[in-house]
A and B are shown apart, each in its own frame.
Chain A
């Protein structure tokens, strides 16, 4: 009798010990993920916090040496928006330059990309694959390696310090991707649509404008966003090709702050935040589409 009772007691004890060890392990794992989450938050946000911290410094209190804003002040943001510091006298002009370059790159990448993809994929010209494969060769040599010859060529063309030289470079880099995406996307549109329009007597430009472009709208939006962000975020070509303050774009102006010892750092960080806000907003607005587009190939693998 007693042995049975003892056995039962032993069994319950073992069971409860096993259960508590499972609980302990789960608890430890939860604690582990929490610690890792905290590390990731600190790692991710530290540089961003640093930007905000410096931008909230009041003027004159340049070297901070503390880790909380002592007297938070939005003076620097106001200063950027009203261009009140001599360092920022062209801010809105430079902002407009960035926007202008962004829109032009988007427009031409979409136009040239869709025309080429239409001719290759829909009109099915011979040797069309040669064009699209050659276009992809653009990405074999890093853009930064071509910057020096590109600069020399632009000087020869008389386009130095001209926004169009940057637009030309960025259109050349954005369009191959546009062609590629348009061709992939165009595959989902039956070619019979074009053929029936042709039988009705539509000319190629009419098919392109009335049928192809409307059906391609989602791809146009995706590639357009990509091209706009590419142009807005690009630095090297803008830095080399745009030298005068009036022609500069925001990233070049930002980097210029670093080269001077007397720069107003709070204004620099406020400018950086204002410049970074639009692309961040676009990323989060289109987050799902951007990740699915980016990992298009990755998922298949």
Chain B
């Protein structure tokens, strides 16, 4: 097998191809349809933010922040076939940009709710710049060689914060001053609900743009390059340019995701954006189901829910002091590891692949029953 396509299994191609003619017919309404989905999701999110307690709001907001990054990584790896082990570093770029911007505003005494939007936009711009540089190098590399370079990027960015500690304050990192919720929402408006609104709004916007991009001409060139570079080149697609574009788009969303994480945590430090984060993002998109944005949703949910769930399972056990000391912390990790292995063995298409298979089977049975 050639090392060219780091991406999706071949059977994905049929689905992608089938999407082509569908797009032709539905092109006019694609944007509207996505808008409708986003509007429904937004309304649901607002409803949920009132229904659940603050901690769940915070967890959902974290899911939203991770979702930005996993959706971008899905576009890069799943749709364009480029492997990145360095998305944690791109998230760090966004996070540090937002921290520096917010601090600059704060130090000058500039206040206002709109400033956060400016900072988030700056974070996206900065990450796009970094992503473009990495993307140009990445476009020349394939498979494990690309993995090697992006791995090095993942290690470098946290290290740079130590080298330039005058700006980034080393391992301790920076605090991110964020305005409290606007008074119009009431004095006792929970802060975590406000955080969910911010993260949810930004993520839905990013998803809307990504979904349209995926359905557009660009999305088709992404997939064409992934499936067969030579054929794509014959069809008049500029392969390197397409790959750089995919990397830049992916970097932009990763930067936004990192910026949101920094806003949620009200702080940023290199330890949070190490190699582990990059590897976990990759695990998330593959487990969620590579190649579709819905898979990115599952991945982001798993990133937040799985450690929490396995910790809860561990807590149910009653253990002696000595045994508890050995298992504490380690058992959740073991459960996490086993889950990864089992999911990949049982459902190589990830959670989303499993669900669509299940959905198709249901649909077939329903049709068979009707006829």
Answer yes or no: do A and B interact. Answer: no
Chain B positions within 8 Å of A, measured between CB atoms, are none
